[in-house]
Amino acid sequence: MTIDMGRKDIKGSVTDSNGRQEVPGGLWDSVKKAAFVIGSGLLFLAAFGNSLTWHLQRFWGASGDFWQNLWTNLYLKFEGHETTLFFLGTMLVPTVAFWTTNGLLLLVDITGKPSFITRYRIQMDKNNPVDPVKLRHAVKTVVFNQVFISGPMVVGVYYLMTWKGNPCGPELPTFHWGLVELALCAIIEEFMFYYSHRLFHHPALYKHFHKQHHEWTAPIGVVSIYAHPLEHVLSNMLPAVSGPVILGSHIATTSLWYALALVSTSISHCGYHLPFLPSPEFHDFHHLKFNQCFGVLGVLDRLHGTDTKFRQTKQYERHTLLTSLTPLNESIPDAPKKVQ
């Protein structure tokens, strides 16, 4: 079997067998992977939304305007109290999503059971089980960040969004426009998180702020928002809230986006490469090595060359959607350690 590795022109760009030029470092490949991740997520949401609506209409006798009617009833109950409605929607729903996800993960982290979950652990020799003292400190910090930082920021976001319109308007956005907004929010988050995250890795800032988050070289889900308050504002919250503010999103889209962002970052930090869930290998490697893999989708890491070491590792080979029940550390094992 012959493998065509392509040819280089004078300027160093690579041309494949079809004559298409590729950006050095495989940027085009990274863009395609990011588009696949976002597209797959939106396709799943679309299918889930259509299926859920059908079941509600079929078994609960709901009308074709089920979601609009549900929102109208809620809107009328909070009429004149839009600030309260926005706060509850953008704090309660994402917080429930975050703690439901991490509550299940913590059961495994604390007990080390069930074994059919722990076999998917990425760093097999770490957090087995998790240090209870270290965990309690992390949980206290997370709760502080949610109550005293995220809460006030969400109120501020509401007043910013009212300059462009009413984020709690009586009409829901169309389902398909909501999906478009979610994709745009993911792109905005990638851009803002990558650069703010790299900024916090500057030596002048790292030791005072970001080092706290990197106490966990083998992360778990709940530490996704375990961070210094300044970092939580600039690198956790700001990239997430900017999309809905820029787009003037409805509270329904905003709440869904916040919830998805929190679940996504929890999975990225969870330490388990579970079947049919997004791969956490990319960000897990960042916690392991510190100076690689700063982004969410990986596009800007490929553009700036901050994933070059990652792409030479077994973790990169495992950085894919697991579609079987065999853990990737078994199907793609680490190379045997050299005996001295």
Is residue 261 within a helix (H) or strand (E), and if so which, with residue range? helix 251-269
Q: What angle do CA 259, 263, 266 make, to 5 degrees?
A: 140
Cα separation, 292 vs 310, whole angstroms? 7
Q: What is the CA radius of gyration of the chain?
A: 22
User: Residues 278, 281, 284, 290: what is their CA dihedral angle, to the nearest 10 degrees?
Assistant: -130
CB 145 within 8 A of CB 232: yes
Q: Which amino acid is at 242?
A: S
Q: What share of the chain is helix, strand, coil (3-state, %, to 5)?
A: 65, 0, 35
* pTM, to two decimals: 0.83
Cα separation, 67 vs 224, whole angstroms? 32
CB 114 within 8 A of CB 195: no
* pLDDT of 335: 80
SS3 17: coil
Cα separation, 197 vs 190, whole angstroms? 10
Residue-by-residue pLDDT tens, the chain, 340 positions = 333 333 333 333 334 434 433 334 455 665 655 565 566 665 665 666 666 555 555 544 445 578 899 999 999 999 999 999 999 999 999 999 999 999 999 999 999 999 899 999 999 989 888 999 999 999 999 999 999 999 999 999 999 999 989 999 999 998 889 889 999 999 999 999 999 999 999 999 999 999 999 999 999 999 999 999 999 999 999 999 999 999 999 999 999 999 999 999 999 999 999 999 999 999 999 999 999 999 998 889 998 999 999 999 999 999 999 999 999 999 999 887 765 5
SS3 8: strand
User: Which residues are CB-contacts of 169 (< 8 A; sequence separation ≥ 6)?
Assistant: 250
Is residue 282 within a helix (H) or strand (E), and if so which, with residue range? helix 281-289
The one-character DSSP state at 218 is S
* pLDDT of 171: 94
Cα separation, 294 vs 292, whole angstroms? 6
DSSP string spanning 39-65? Answer: HHHHHHHHHHHHHHHHHHHHHS---TT
The one-character DSSP state at 145 is I
Cα separation, 172 vs 207, whole angstroms? 45
User: Which residues are CB-contacts of 323 (< 8 A; sequence separation ≥ 6)?
Assistant: 275, 276
| CA proximity to 250, closest of 134, 152, 144, 166 | 166
Q: How far is CA 287 from CA 281, 292, 321, in A?
A: 10, 9, 20
SS3 21: strand
User: Residues 166, 172, 176, 178: what is their CA dihedral angle, to the nearest 10 degrees?
Assistant: 40
CB 328 within 8 A of CB 294: no
* pLDDT of 331: 95
Cα separation, 86 vs 249, whole angstroms? 12
User: Which residues are CB-contacts of 226 (< 8 A; sequence separation ≥ 6)?
Assistant: 138, 141, 142, 145, 212, 213, 216
